[in-house]
Amino acid sequence: MMNADKVKNLIVAPSPHVQTTQTTQSIMRDVLIALLPALLVSTWAFGWRVIGITALSVVCCVGFEYLIQRFVVRGASTVGNLSAAVTGVLLAFNLPVTIPWWIVVIGAFVAIAVAKMTFGGLGKNPFNPAIVGRVFLLIAYPVQMTSFATDAFTGATPLAAMKFSPVFAGAELGDLFIGNVAGSLGEVAAGALLLGFAYLLWRRVITWHIPVTIFITMALFAFFVAWGRGWTGAALWEFPMFHLLAGGAMLGAIFMATDYVTSPMTVRGGVIYAVGIGALTMCFRLWGAYPEGMSFAILIMNATVPLINKYVKNRRFGVK
Amino acid sequence: MKTFRKGGIHPSENKLSAGAAIEEFALPDVVVLPLSQHIGAPATPVVAVGDHVVVGQLVAEATGFVSARVHASVSGTVVAIEPRLNPQGIKQPAIVIRREEDQWAPEIDRSQRVVTECVLSGAEIIEKIRRAGIVGLGGATFPTHVKLTIPAGRKAEFVIVNGAECEPYLTSDQRVMTERSGEVVEGARLLAKALGVTRVLIGIENNKPEAIARMTEAAARYPEIEVVPLRMKYPQGGEKQLIAALTGREVPPPPALPIDVGAVVSNASTVLAVYEAVQKDKPLVERVVTVTGKGLKEPKNLLVRLGTPMSALIEVAGGLPEGDCKVLGGGPMMGRAMIQLDAPVTKGCSGITVLSGADASRQPAQTCIKCAKCVAACPMGLEPYLLSKGAQRQKWEALEAGDVTSCIECGCCQATCPAHLPLLDWIRLGKQTVSGMIRARAMAQTSRK
């Protein structure tokens, strides 16, 4: 007979008996870490106000989630999973540096209270909360949301400049890459966002399929538009490169289109969704009323996710 | 490097006992031989209390075709035929023998000589396997002679030896292939002869280089045998995954069987038992058991007589560590937690894994964040998050449409879930319910005819 007090400690459960070390919290923490390089570059480009806006946005998002969970839902606190903090950073990254403080608070409220908690919180929201917040602000406060003039940069964003100029004058691709341009906080440094992408891949938080498909779709779309317009030479590759590096393409493709909750469950479904985002973004950019269309494209494709999940399934093993 | 393509995960190997040579475990004073150590009907005792038996003597005859014989694993006196607790704490009929000396049945050849020639016909080989009470030793415990009896209209093309041992921690097959490679290769040849097959594939995960080397060496003289290194990925040793990795063929969904794509798969330890049964006239009376765990002082691979209490094996490996423990029959992916450590080692027991400390308990479940990792990990191409939700909501028709019966219960979905949801718990419930519905429907149909 075994020692009796050892026997009483036996734990029993069905298999499997191993679990991943990844948790919701660790995934969200990794996303925050991946956003850090872009935050640093943005601070370098726009100054300390970037930190202030980001901090305010995070505090508001986490605060609203905490209050709603505590007093409306009346469940255990969910802010520890850090998803509200991620929404806060992403919302801030979608705002210009000159944004008034009170607009940040409104954006955070729409993102968390309207887009997330009304649906039941994390895992149940059909639309990306940060993008809903951004789009709401863009429609409600168009002036404040599109004034990018600061001491460092004057005038329009590269996408806006492009939109309202009849010819492609070439682009400072290098500046776009390192963040030396006007734009929203998180849009300015493609290089820093790609660094974050590499980190997320290494940590197995996301796979490459959705971002890379969006990039390829946008680049091909831009190439054929340039070609159709009869452009030759450097413009044929600079125009696609410009569209990848400018505006919210990188931020949207890497950090927002890959949001677990609002993207499809299969790789094939994800590719369809990503092609939709890339193509719609280019349509909005080239022919829409706004210079940028990434957030609209993602929202629209978010709406198709239940349909994609219903019809795009993995091939079953042993079934042709 | 060959592998199955769909899904799969990479759990930590934790092959703590990989370097530990097989040790013969001390003969137990009492053995408990359950009558049901296999899938199918329990065996019927052919001895009575008070009878004297020798090692290898038949003590329970198979009851019908899908059943398996049980033999005395020690010599001594039958002291009881009564229900005894199994590892899950359920009483099951068993034959209890008190050991005296170590007398073996005279026909058993206990020499070390590896016999390579065989004059028996295929049917005679299968008959010897049946007589020896051999079942799948990888854990499935399906009677081997039944598997080797090919249904009409099917034809075996490959004999596949499963040496993948993709379960974390377990090393019994690895040690058998390393130390007894010649006998395993001969066993595989016997299976090929029994089935009239000219192609033998031995799949071994590439985290066992020594086993691959020894097996390749032993198989070198037989052109029909190929040792194939496989990529390390769980569940590489799942029957359907292994067949896909080695032949490129996928077994269709249930009720199809491996033989429908021409494959007959046997685990490496089973193949060794086949060799011993056919060439040495030795019934299945002992097997190699890995006793392992991070909390054990000395993880071991032990050659154990069937019926030995598991607690004795744990003691010799250093005893249970302090604090919380989960003791598994098998490995951590598919093993079953035990509550009765004095239960006997049976034919399907390839290992005892002790998880201690934080490893012993589940993390609390959180909400699903639709990360899709379970969908990507499922080697059967199913949607675990939907099946689990469907079972919770008792949407049995939706589960059937979602092919829940194809689930092989490998546990990839749950092991990879960052929300730590008990996905497989629910899916298992759904699978059992839906399987029951399908059986009931079939019965209703036959009774109507």
- CB-CB under 8 Å, B320 with A2: yes
Q: For chain B, what are the domain ranges?
A: 28-99, 122-280, 288-360, 373-448
Sequence-distant (≥ 6) Cβ neighbours of residue A312 within 8 angstroms: A264, A266, A268, A269, A272
Residues 278-317 of A with CB under 8 A from B: 313-317
Partner residue facing B325 (CB), from A9, A122, A318 = A9
A20 close to B (CB below 8 A): yes
Query: In a 3-state reduction of DSSP, which class is residue B300?
Result: strand
Q: Which of B268, B278, B279 is nearest to B136 (CA)?
A: B268
pLDDT score of B448: 79
Residues 250-279 of B with CB under 8 A from A: 250-253, 256
> Computed over its alpha carbons, how large is the radius of gyration of chain A?
22
Q: Is B98 exposed, middle or buried (0-12, 13-18, 19+ CB in 10 A)?
A: middle
Q: Min CA distance, B37 vs chain A (Å)?
A: 20
Sequence-distant (≥ 6) Cβ neighbours of residue B217 within 8 angstroms: B181
- CB-CB under 8 Å, B403 with A20: no
pLDDT score of A166: 54
Q: Which of B398, B408, B397, B378 is nearest to B251 (CA)?
A: B408
pLDDT score of A1: 45
B406 close to A (CB below 8 A): yes
Q: Which of A75, A69, A74, A53 is nearest to A116 (CA)?
A: A69
Partner residue facing A10 (CB), from B325, B370, B381 = B325
What is the phi-psi region of residue B249: left when phi exceeds 0, alpha when psi lies from -120 to 50, beta otherwise? beta
Residue B326 identity: K
- CB-CB under 8 Å, B415 with A122: no
Instruction: Give the pair of three-digit tokens for residue B241.
Output: 């995954």
Angle formed at CA B303 by CA B302 and CA B304, multiple of 5 degrees: 100
Judging contacts by C-beta atoms under 8 Å, the chain A residues touching residue B338 are 10, 12
Average confidence (pLDDT) over B345-372:
93
- CB-CB under 8 Å, A18 with B12: yes
Mean pLDDT value across chain B: 94
- CB-CB under 8 Å, B370 with A317: no
A12 close to B (CB below 8 A): yes
Residue A264 identity: P
Judging contacts by C-beta atoms under 8 Å, the chain A residues touching residue B11 are 18
Residues 341-380 of B with CB under 8 A from A: 341-342, 353, 355, 359-363, 366-372, 375-376, 378-380
Average confidence (pLDDT) over B86-103:
94
How many beta-carbon pairs under 8 angstroms link A with B? Answer: 162
8 Å CB contact between B232 and B106: no
Instruction: Give the pair of three-digit tokens for residue B382.
Output: 């199913």
Asked whether the predicted pLDDT for residue B98 surpasses 50, the reply is yes
A24 close to B (CB below 8 A): yes
Other residues' Cβ atoms within 10 Å of the Cβ of residue B443:
10
Nearest residue of B to residue A12, measured between CA atoms: B337
A1 close to B (CB below 8 A): yes
pLDDT score of A188: 78
* Domain B122-280, classified CATH 3.90.1150.10, yes or no: no
What is the second-level CATH architecture of the domain B288-360?
Answer: Roll (3.10)
8 Å CB contact between A93 and A230: no
What are the DSSP E strand ranges found in chain A? none
The set of long-range contacts for A42-47, using a CB threshold of 8 Å and a minimum separation of 24, is A42/A93, A42/A179, A42/A185, A42/A186, A42/A188, A42/A189, A42/A192, A44/A179, A45/A152, A45/A179, A45/A180, A45/A188, A45/A189, A46/A97, A46/A150, A46/A152, A46/A185, A46/A188, A47/A97, A47/A150, A47/A151, A47/A152
Please write the tens of the pLDDT for every residue from B138-184: 888 999 999 999 998 999 999 999 999 999 999 999 999 999 999 99
Asked whether the predicted pLDDT for residue B401 surpasses 50, the reply is yes
Partner residue facing A15 (CB), from B335, B360, B370 = B335
pLDDT score of A163: 67
* Per-residue pLDDT tens digits of chain A, which is 320 residues long: 444 444 557 899 999 999 999 999 999 999 999 999 999 999 988 889 999 999 999 999 999 999 999 999 888 888 999 999 999 999 999 999 899 999 999 999 999 999 999 999 999 999 999 999 999 999 999 888 887 766 556 566 777 777 666 556 555 777 777 666 778 888 878 889 999 999 999 999 999 999 999 999 999 999 999 888 888 888 888 888 888 988 889 999 999 999 999 999 999 999 999 999 999 999 999 898 888 889 999 999 999 999 999 999 999 999 98
Average confidence (pLDDT) over B210-224:
95
Rounded CA separation B144/A138 (Å)? 69
Q: Which of A52, A49, A59, A48 is nearest to A108 (CA)?
A: A59
What is the second-level CATH architecture of the domain B28-99?
Answer: Beta Barrel (2.40)
Please write the tens of the pLDDT for every residue from B31-40: 999 999 999 9
Kindly report the length of chain A: 320
- CB-CB under 8 Å, B334 with A19: no
8 Å CB contact between B367 and A123: yes
Among B375, B407, B427, the strongest candidate for a mutation testing the A interface, having the largest count of A CBs within 10 A, is B375
Partner residue facing A15 (CB), from B339, B381, B411 = B411
Considering the entire predicted model, what is its pTM? 0.91
What is the phi-psi region of residue A138: left when phi exceeds 0, alpha when psi lies from -120 to 50, beta otherwise? alpha
pLDDT score of A254: 96
Q: Min CA distance, A212 vs chain B (Å)?
A: 18
- CB-CB under 8 Å, A315 with B372: no
pLDDT score of A233: 80
Residues 111-140 of B with CB under 8 A from A: none
Residue A208 identity: W
Please write the tens of the pLDDT for every residue from B283-320: 999 999 999 999 899 999 999 999 999 999 999 999 99
